[in-house]
């Protein structure tokens, strides 16, 4: 068999093996997507209730003037605000344009909301985001790698505990969570949600339409005290925001991975079809050449005998 035919045959074989891998990866990503979507449905009820309670408190003006450590909306208004951006990316590649979209949109958001690099810091959840900002000399104050495919609430508690500790120490004055919101398997949209400080304006902005439309009571009788109630509710609210964002981001990641692997498999099918056509044409040409040579040899033998 000619060398060119061997090369084409080798490419067909290697492409088929690649297709097997991408098909398997698509199935794995789809399985992870199904798992996290089921988990997210159960969590959504809890998150909605927490947000509803906090919104009640906001409308009752219990949050107004609060100066609780780590959750205060008040502060020295004369100083320049330092902002932290919690950027959620994946630890691995093979997720299509997911990481690139998060980082690009986050950078655009930062450029609009921060005057210079001295006025903000990065908190990275996911290796891709952390590596990107470190390579560019950005201040990555904290990073967390190895988030589970279906994250648990305990994982988020560790992240929130570190963030609130940094906030209490005055390392930043406000925090935005930047991630890709899952719409469907093919579509995700960037979101930047304000998590700290927890105040009435931020809560009203983050509350979903279904919560806003509920009939809310504007007054509360608080036992044992407002501050003790808030010390329990507000950390749960912060945890719910971060955990919800990580769940949402992970859902988008799995969807993007499944879509990217399906696209890779489809491209492999197209390449295999093209190579097989090329192989068959080359093989037919080689056979035709052999037949022509044999026929020519026979004719030459007949001429010699005559």
Q: List, for residues 127-167, the tens digit of each pLDDT value.
A: 999 999 999 988 899 999 988 898 888 888 888 888 888 98
Average confidence score pLDDT of the chain: 80
Query: Of the ranges 33-37, 185-189, 211-215, which one carries the lowest mean pLDDT score?
Result: 211-215
**Comparing C-alpha atoms, which of 66, 84, 80, 72 is closest to residue 166?**
84
Three-state SS annotation for 79-99 = CCCCEEEEEECCCCCCCCCHH
Mean pLDDT for the stretch of residues 10-22: 92
pLDDT class of 18 with cuts at 50, 70, 90: very high
Give a yes or no: residue 289 inside a domain. Answer: no
What CATH number is given to the structural domain containing 90? 3.40.1380.10
Distance separating alpha carbons of residues 68 and 5, to the nearest angstrom: 75
Residue 108 makes CB contacts below 8 A (sequence gap 6+) with: none
Distance separating alpha carbons of residues 265 and 94, to the nearest angstrom: 13
Give a yes or no: residue 277 inside a domain. Answer: no
Give a yes or no: residue 295 inside a domain. Answer: no
Give a yes or no: residue 272 inside a domain. Answer: no
Domain that holds residue 94: 24-260
Give a yes or no: residue 284 inside a domain. Answer: no
Residue 106 vs residue 52, higher pLDDT: 106
Domain count, the chain: 1
The pLDDT of residue 76 is 52
Token couple for 170: 């005055």
Token couple for 13: 């074989």
* 172 pLDDT higher than 60: yes
Give a yes or no: residue 5 inside a domain. Answer: no
Provide the β-strand partners of residue 29: none
Give a yes or no: residue 274 inside a domain. Answer: no
> Helices 153-168 and 226-305 sit at what angle, rounded to 10 degrees?
120
Give a yes or no: residue 3 inside a domain. Answer: no
Mean pLDDT for the stretch of residues 246-262: 92
């Amino acid at each position: 068999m000619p060398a060119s035919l061997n090369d084409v045959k080798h490419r067909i074989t290697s492409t088929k093996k690649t297709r097997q891998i991408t098909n398997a990866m698509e199935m794995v990503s789809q399985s992870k997507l199904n798992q996290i979507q089921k988990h997210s449905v159960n969590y959504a009820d809890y998150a909605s209730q927490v947000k509803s309670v906090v919104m009640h408190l906001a409308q009752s003006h219990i949050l107004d003037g609060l100066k609780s450590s780590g959750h205060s909306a008040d502060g020295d208004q004369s100083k320049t605000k330092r902002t932290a951006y919690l950027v959620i990316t994946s630890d691995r590649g093979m997720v299509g344009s997911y990481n690139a979209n998060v980082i690009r949109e986050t950078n655009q958001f930062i450029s609009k909301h921060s005057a210079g690099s001295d006025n903000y810091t990065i908190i990275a959840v996911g290796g891709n985001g952390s590596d990107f900002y470190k390579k560019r000399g950005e201040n990555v104050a904290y990073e967390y790698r190895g988030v589970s495919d279906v994250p648990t609430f305990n994982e988020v508690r560790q992240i929130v505990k570190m963030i609130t500790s940094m906030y209490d120490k005055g390392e930043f004055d406000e925090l935005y969570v930047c991630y890709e919101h899952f719409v469907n398997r093919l579509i995700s949209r960037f979101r930047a949600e304000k998590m700290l400080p927890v105040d009435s304006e931020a809560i009203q902005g983050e509350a979903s339409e279904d919560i806003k439309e509920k009939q809310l009571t504007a007054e509360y009788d608080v036992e044992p005290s407002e501050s003790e109630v808030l010390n329990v509710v507000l950390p749960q609210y912060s945890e719910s925001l971060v955990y919800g964002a990580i769940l949402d981001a992970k859902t988008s990641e799995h969807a993007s991975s499944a879509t990217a692997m399906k696209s890779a498999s489809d491209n492999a099918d197209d390449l295999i079809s093209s190579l097989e056509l090329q192989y068959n044409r080359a093989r037919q040409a080689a056979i035709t050449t052999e037949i022509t040579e044999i026929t020519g040899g026979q004719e030459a033998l007949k001429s010699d005998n005559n």
